[in-house]
Amino acid sequence: MAEPFLNVTSSASGRAWVDRLDDMQSRTAQAIAQRTGISEILARIIAARGVGIDAAEEYLNPTIRGLMPDPSSLADMDRLAARLVAAITNNERVALFGDYDVDGASSCALMTRYLRHFGLEPEVYIPDRIFEGYGPNVAAIDKLIDNGATLLVTLDCGTVSDGPIAHAKSRGIDVLVIDHHLSDHDLPIADAIVNPNRADDISGLGYLCAAGVTFMVLVAVNRQLRLRGDTGQPDLMQLLDIVALATVCDVVPLTGLNRAFVVRGLEVARRAANRGIGALALAARVTGPLSPYHLGFLIGPRINAGGRIGDASMGTRLLALDDEHEALVIAAQLNELNSERQKIELDALDEATRAAEAEIGGGEGPPVLVLASANWHPGIIGIVAGRIRERFERPAFIFALQPDGTGVGSGRSMPGVDLGHAVIAAVEAGLIARGGGHAMAAGATLKAGQFNAFRAHLSETLSRAVGTARSMTALKIDAALSARGASVEFVEDIERAGPYGAGNPQPVFAFPAHRAKFAEVVGASAHVRFQLTSDDGARLKAIAFRAAATPIGDALLTAGNDRKLHIAGTLGIDHYQGRAEVQLRVTDVAEASG
């Protein structure tokens, strides 16, 4: 363990604080600052994320052209692109089958917009999360074929849909799969499967979300059309706002090509080219330029609300349309659904938290929390799993049970713990009916009586990985800062190393020996809001999300106006009534010794 930062060995959350940079990275940061002329703190942020001296300039200015590999490096890409070219050339009836989350909606919207450019109007089918579940099903496929489809394209699903795809083929329709989910199974008998996570793919693009893979497909299709002498292909760069939305919301690593997708996609999104994204930003009362935070925490949840407790196709329709009035109507509906979802989620989270506390008791508790209740709405279990994982620092799987004892579950993991592979292994062992996913998120369907065996399987399979991951939960600090130093200009400068998210963590700053003045609990989610104050009188708006009745919240609320604390968190800019103001989002708190 590195030397504790500010001598914090056990914070309010029970963690040690350590410098994110080791000695070699510190020297690299100094060299980057000297060569490029950027600030020392920005250089530290870049070096801590593994960027070398020679790569610093490119890292600060990522481009699609510089980071995108040849699309043909993906297995089956040329075959899949050729089949789409044929569909465009022959003006075929194309059906799209997507997932009900933001990534699925975005992938379908991308393909819809692309095909529409050539005069095709694909029929889009998004399954109902509760009644149909994830992935293609026979009844839906029959409906699409009966409506005249000659080509079925699955987006963000299909890799494990052997039966439904075989059924589609038996009815004489061609099937293309565009996906990114893991599978250890033999692939279904589709005409082409583009998935960077299929076992025989060597592209190294497994970190892409489905919309990212779809964008690569469209690049390949454009190229094949140009080689045929066709002109007038769509400008794909104008679709990057949709790719950025999916990349942020699917919590894939914001590194490499993904980072370029989001940087350039945000530039497109800020021009409000997509009516749907613009309408959702208005409904969510977004102020200031769109940021990854807005995409991930304000716009994305509203799209997901349709799939969770409403009409799952609303998100795709919204992202694919150009009519401003219709966009505003759908966005308002999704906004209402999101408010309803939040109420349902809070009730479920309260019950799940109590159940998790009972599981853990006074000891270490199980390595994976697997909880189930008949009271939980299937549409919000993924969100609850994420909250429980965050609160108890271990993977969590939340199941909504039906009266017959069957259940549908959603799991969220932590870095270093591959939940998707564990679920796939459970399917292969016959422990659960269905399941799949990727390292950080997975889903499963249980038959009656399978719950205990699945819980035992996860604990046994993941125990060592969870133990290792939890032993490395020290809070990594990028730099120390003062309230006066946290200016708008400073935050804008460090944003040059963004966008931040999975794989490119938001910089965490420690504010040594500051006061938490006027702390109070606000909002239904019980946030703790206060003013961070330094000895020189500088003040900074600060908030600890969902912190009431937690050790961090207790420390802030009982500190008063005089006791000094070390306070760590991330910085963002809050735009209100045309004024930009910095806000600290608290991660942890520790007593200031001496």
pLDDT confidence bin for 554, thresholds 50/70/90: very high
Over range 328-355, report the average pLDDT. Answer: 94
Place of tokens 């950080």: 440
Q: Could you give the percent of the chain with pLDDT greater than 70? A: 99
pLDDT confidence bin for 361, thresholds 50/70/90: confident
Write down the pLDDT at residue 67.
Answer: 94
Place of tokens 């208005």: 282
CATH class of the domain comprising 5-21+475-591? mainly beta
Q: What are the CA-CA distances from residue 199 to residues 28, 161, 429, 436, 461 (Å)?
A: 37, 16, 19, 15, 21
pLDDT confidence bin for 322, thresholds 50/70/90: very high
Write down the pLDDT at residue 364.
Answer: 85
**Do 364-471 and 5-21+475-591 fall under one CATH topology?**
no
**Would the pLDDT of 81 be above 90?**
yes
**Would the pLDDT of 2 be above 70?**
no
Q: What is the DSSP string of 403-449?
A: TTS-EEEEEE--TT--HHHHHHHHHHTTSSSEEEE-SSEEEEEE-TT
**Would the pLDDT of 490 be above 60?**
yes
pTM: 0.87
Domains of the chain, residue spans: 5-21+475-591, 69-336, 364-471
Over range 214-240, report the average pLDDT. Answer: 95
**Would the pLDDT of 184 be above 80?**
no
Name the pairing type of β-strands 369-373 and 396-401.
parallel
Task: State how far the Cα of 410 lies from the Cα of 570, in Å rounded to an integer.
Answer: 28
Reading the block at residue 385, the tokens are: 């799993």
Higher pLDDT, 348 or 287: 348
**Would the pLDDT of 472 be above 90?**
no
CATH class of the domain comprising 69-336? alpha beta
For residue 279, the SS3 value is: helix
Neighbours of 479 (CB within 10 A): 21
Tens digit of each residue's pLDDT (9 = 90 or more) over 35-70: 999 999 999 999 999 999 999 999 999 999 999 999
Extract long-range pairs of 43-50: CB within 8 Å, 24+ residues apart: 44/20, 44/478, 44/479, 45/478, 45/479, 45/494, 45/497, 45/507, 46/497, 47/21, 48/20, 48/21, 48/476, 48/478, 49/497, 49/504, 49/505
Neighbours of 492 (CB within 10 A): 12
**Would the pLDDT of 498 be above 70?**
yes
**Would the pLDDT of 167 be above 60?**
yes
Options 3.10.310.30, 1.10.3720.10, 3.40.50.300, 3.50.50.60; CATH for 364-471 is: 3.10.310.30
Over range 128-153, report the average pLDDT. Answer: 94
